[in-house]
Structure 1
Amino acid sequence: MRRGPITLLQTPVAGLHLTKTCPAGPASPAGTNLPAAAFPERVVPARRIPGSDMTQTDRDRRRGHRARPPRLLLCVRPLVLLLGAIVSSLAGGCGSGDPAPRPAGAQPQGPPPTSVILGTVVERSIRPEIRVIGTVEPDRQTTVGAEVAGVVERFDLREGDRTVRNETIIAQLRTSDREIALREAAAALARAEAEREKLRRGYRPEEIGQRRAEVRERRALMEQGQKDLERSRDLHDDGAISIQQLQRDESVYLAARSQYDRALAFLAEVEAGYRQEDVAKAEAEFHQAQATRDRIQDELAKTTILSPLTGYLVKKHVEAGQWVDKGGRVADLVDLTTVRIVILIAERDIGQVRIGDTATIVVDAYPGRTFTGRVSHIVPQADLQSRAFPVKIEVENPAGAPLRGGMLARTSLGVGSTRPTVLIPKDAVVRRGDRELVFLVNGQTAVQREVSTGRAFDGFLELVEGDLRPGEPLVVTGNEGLRDGAPVMAVKAGAPAQSGPPGAPGGRR
């Protein structure tokens, strides 16, 4: 059925504004094809000017103005044009409703092939590994305590400062009170030492001579008293003296004899020297005074708190001016010359771990750098909650990139002997949700396979589950948007991979 173009005529007439639908005519390439009956002729009365015989249209024409179409036509015109465009597109244009004929033998056109780069499934002999996350710990760490009580006079170090064993001063306590006590102890020691030496040497010759002279003197007095007593006895017998005189002479003799005996005893003591008990007592008092002095000297030395190891100060517990008790904490130190990586090995794997096994460690602080260590300790007691056994790996800490305590260490621990392992390029794996997919190429068609991967080895991933064989080609570039059965075209590595129509950007992003 032929449809002619629709032409809208606006003819200003005195008193009337006509909108007329023309009959269908020949098709026009630029026309709008609509049925003529869809637009019947309508007569719209013109609006008159109050108080005059003229209409608004007549006045506008006299003034040189163009006639304005009615408001209803202004609203209908866009809808008519839109409807005409829709009908024209359905009719196929050029006044004909028949579509353009398809060339004989032509096939329906599908999506263009996606340019991809291929990799290969390989097989290598690899030693099994246990991969766990551990923690870096210092080889040695200690909390320095005060061996004596006192006031902290100086504490100049800060967290992170390096310390040297028996050289770096951690803190200095006040020493004035102990210096005074040390002088007192030194004086007491000197006195005790002099007394001990005196008793060890015994009496001097002069003292012995004096004692001997005293003995001779007392003996002479005794002998004189004895003679006087004998004469008085004779006189008493003759009745020349009274009994009282005789008794008085006898008392004098007895006193002289007693003094002579005492002098003999003193002389024997002096000649024999001091008693062993006195010498032992003096020796003990000397050692006591010496110990008191040494104790105060030791306390005085301990007021200077030295670093017990070469490492770093990581925490301060006191500051200058604070009182610290004996045994109180002063600072925490760590030795990072050698560090240990502490990992937890599951019960099912602990039987494969041996002392000396090699481990590789990676930390986030040094991307791309690998540290090597060896298993040094296997703790035979498992954690009762996780049922995992602590294993310690010893690592020599390099000076250029030091490992620090508390770092997260991703550890790969090689166990057992090597075994053949199928590996796939890591770029071949596409993760969609919880699924891991790879795409093989069969002719020029992508074939989807679901896989499960494990450890990474130099750009490859271990194939844990999946039907893949060594040598099979896998898509490694251009596989993000692939679907099973999609057409593909393999290109050489280095050529830009394209997806979509020619000229459209493609490849991995």
Structure 2
Amino acid sequence: MGRLVAAGVMVFLALLSAMAQAQSSERALMSEAVERSMLQETVHLDGVIEAVQQSTVSAQTSGIVRSLPFDVDDSVAAGDLIVQLEDSEQRSRLRQAEAGLEEAEAALADAGQRFERIEAVHERGLVSRQEFDQARNNLAAARARVERARASVSEAQEQLSYTRVLAPYGGILTERHVEVGESVNPGQPLLSGLSLEQLRVVVDL
């Protein structure tokens, strides 16, 4: 009987010891500090480097290509002459427009002087109202002809400027669409190029 009691006491003490260890371990787990960390992942992708600014210059007037100062892979600066078209026709139109403007301005001067004379005598009642109105209408028409002549000169100057094609920005020529001696029309591509100042990488995800 005494042995059974002793054995029971030993079992009881063992259970108490196990429970104490479990509680101690639980308290240790509960007091453990948790730290946050970042998960880093590296992804390798294939991409293509391309220029942000790339364009094709087209003709804005008709003519024959007289010279191409630069070739493919040449570097150009902004404002460089890259295509020169034959400009004899455009220069002829400009001369005609300028001559027309001179005639219109001379006619305006005559109409102005005539109107001033008629206006002066009309105030004294020496000319009819109809003659006065006619002189005033002639002056207005002469002014309108001068405005049209000036517009023609501006248009002719613009067409002449189109025979000189300038680089819109600095960069490298990548493609030539015409050859010297070739006839071109408005809208026809002349040269293509790109700028190396701004580049980007294009990837497929």
Indicate whether the TM-score tops 0.5: yes
Equivalent in the alignment of 2:180 = 320
Shift of 1:175: 1.0
Number of residue-to-residue matches in the alignment: 168
Counterpart Cα distance in 2 of 1:269 and 1:297: 41
Change (3 A) 1:159 1:309: same
Counterpart Cα distance in 1 of 2:133 and 2:152: 33
Q: How do residues 233-312 of structure 1 correspond to structure 2 at under 5 angstroms?
A: 266=127, 274-275=135-136, 277-312=137-172
Matched, 1:129 2:26: no
Residues 29-86 of structure 1, C-alpha deviation per residue, up to 9 Å, x if partnerless?
xxxxxxxxxxxxxxxxxxxxxxxxxxxxxxxxxxxxxxxxxxxxxxxxxxxxxxxxxx
Change (3 A) 1:338 1:302: same
Contact 1:202/1:273, CA 8 A, preserved across alignment: no
Matched, 1:195 2:107: yes
Query: RCO greater where, 1 or 2, for CA within 8 Å and sep 6 or more?
Result: 2
Change (3 A) 1:126 1:182: same
Counterpart Cα distance in 2 of 1:271 and 1:332: 62
Residues 115-138 of structure 1, C-alpha deviation per residue, up to 9 Å, x if partnerless?
xxxxxxxxxx77323221011111
Shift of 1:270: 6.4
Q: Which has the larger radius of gyration?
A: 1
Which amino acid letter does the alignment assign opposite residue 72 of structure 2? E
3-state SS of paired residue (1:156): coil
Counterpart Cα distance in 2 of 1:299 and 1:206: 42
Contact 1:173/1:304, CA 8 A, preserved across alignment: yes
Equivalent in the alignment of 1:140 = 53
Counterpart Cα distance in 1 of 2:204 and 2:86: 47
Matched, 1:336 2:196: yes
Equivalent in the alignment of 2:13 = none
Counterpart Cα distance in 2 of 1:319 and 1:202: 57
- The TM-score, its normalising length taken from structure 2, stands at 0.71
Contact 2:118/2:132, CA 8 A, preserved across alignment: no
Equivalent in the alignment of 2:25 = none
Counterpart Cα distance in 2 of 1:128 and 1:207: 92
Counterpart Cα distance in 2 of 1:189 and 1:281: 14
Equivalent in the alignment of 1:162 = 75
Which amino acid letter does the alignment assign opposite residue 163 of structure 1? V
3-state SS of paired residue (1:190): helix
Counterpart Cα distance in 2 of 1:290 and 1:181: 13
Shift of 1:174: 0.5
Q: How do residues 357-376 of structure 1 correspond to structure 2 at under 5 angstroms?
A: none
Equivalent in the alignment of 1:183 = 95
Q: Which runs of 5+ in 2 are unaligned?
A: 1-37
Contact 1:133/1:343, CA 8 A, preserved across alignment: yes
Shift of 1:163: 1.1
3-state SS of paired residue (1:131): coil
Counterpart Cα distance in 2 of 1:194 and 1:310: 46
Tell me which protein shows more strand as a share of its residues. 1
- The TM-score, its normalising length taken from structure 1, stands at 0.30
Which amino acid letter does the alignment assign opposite residue 127 of structure 2? F
Which amino acid letter does the alignment assign opposite residue 155 of structure 2? R
Q: Which runs of 5+ in 1 are unaligned?
A: 1-124, 213-263, 346-509
Cα RMSD over matched residues? Answer: 2.9
3-state SS of paired residue (2:107): helix
Which amino acid letter does the alignment assign opposite residue 337 of structure 1? E
Shift of 1:291: 1.1
Contact 1:134/1:341, CA 8 A, preserved across alignment: yes
Contact 2:173/2:193, CA 8 A, preserved across alignment: yes
Counterpart Cα distance in 1 of 2:85 and 2:56: 17
Shift of 1:272: 7.5
Shift of 1:196: 2.7
Which amino acid letter does the alignment assign opposite residue 61 of structure 2? V
3-state SS of paired residue (1:184): helix
Change (3 A) 1:343 1:170: same
Which amino acid letter does the alignment assign opposite residue 195 of structure 1? A
Residues 101-154 of structure 1, C-alpha deviation per residue, up to 9 Å, x if partnerless?
xxxxxxxxxxxxxxxxxxxxxxxx773232210111111100010111100000
